[in-house]
A and B are shown apart, each in its own frame.
Chain A
Amino acid sequence: MKSAVVTFPGSNCDRDMWTAMRDVSGREPVKVWHGDAELPDGLDFIALPGGFSYGDYLRSGAMAANSPIMRSIVAAAKRGVPVLGVCNGFQILTEAGLLPGALMRNAGQTFICRTVALKVENSQTMFTSGYAAGEEIRIPVAHHDGNYFADEETLDRLEGEGRVAFRYAESCNGSRRDIAGIVNAAGNVLGMMPHPERAIEDAHGGHDGRRLFESALAELV
């Protein structure tokens, strides 16, 4: 199992992501820099971490979506390589066109930083198989632009195809239909605003995020 964490200028959750993946898989992920033109060969899992890539210039994730490494990541995702985008990583995945919709300024205008309850909507994805459908888990959020928007037709399609992975148990940031995380049609790309990598051990307030990495990485071992 060979995994990678991508760092953009302004990423700040890359080390937490790296540690979570190492602890769960027992193998050190490769660190990839945004300016690298090519991904290392034979990757089984790619994570785009949270942060404020390129200072959120233009729109959150817009600049990173056009950085050199993203071309290789888009190609890898289309080949079926699993890609997880958390927070800014989710914003980058939508800007890169790997996931539908957009993440807008929180409806309340404030930065939200607290642990929230999430409902696992679909436990059949490769990222959520360690959870029970309908299970409520607690994962931290820390974002200013997490207000998920897509038109009604897209939302209906996402719901109909079981592509809503996580939903906020209580309204959090104004997201349409309280969507917190979605997968692509093929099921190998997950974007979510909450931070599972911040919930992998009880010493840090909970371990509900750990099963996401166990689900995703176990399938690849």
Chain B
Amino acid sequence: MKIRIHVSLKPGVLDPQGRAVHHALEGLGFAGVADVRIGRLIELDVADDTSDAALTDMCEKLLANTVIENYRIEKAAA
């Protein structure tokens, strides 16, 4: 089973990397970009019987730092 974990900074947490990329986009002449936030995509290939609880546990214990990050678990279509 293919799983995608989307990790993103929580709203309100400053993202200096996103801000720098935002400036760079403006420098390239792209108008109308209101904000840029950079996150992380983690792809897992897990056993088909892996429970939702186990996936959540993986995110909470290691894949995301819930002090500063949110995560979203996406199961790829079979």
Interface residues in chain A, defined as those with a beta carbon under 8 Å from any beta carbon in chain B: 58-59, 62, 66, 94-95, 100-102, 104-109, 147, 149-150, 174
The answer to whether B65 touches A107, judged by C-beta atoms less than 8 angstroms apart, is no
| B57 shortest CB reach to chain A, Å | 13
Query: Majority SS of interface residues in chain A?
Result: loop
Q: How far is the CA of A104 from the CA of B10 in the complex (A)?
A: 12
- B1 at interface (Cβ–Cβ under 8 A)? no
- Of B14, B17, B62, which is within 8 A of A66 by CB? B62
Interface string of B7-45 (1 = CB under 8 A from A): 000000110110010000000000000000000000000
Interface residues in chain B, defined as those with a beta carbon under 8 Å from any beta carbon in chain A: 13-14, 16-17, 20, 61-63, 65, 67-68
The answer to whether B67 touches A109, judged by C-beta atoms less than 8 angstroms apart, is no
**Across the interface, which residues of A come within 8 angstroms of B67, CB to CB?**
94, 100-102, 149-150
The answer to whether A174 touches B62, judged by C-beta atoms less than 8 angstroms apart, is no
The answer to whether A62 touches B16, judged by C-beta atoms less than 8 angstroms apart, is no
Q: How far is the CA of A102 from the CA of B67 in the complex (A)?
A: 7
Q: Which residue of B lies closest to A105 (CB)?
A: B16
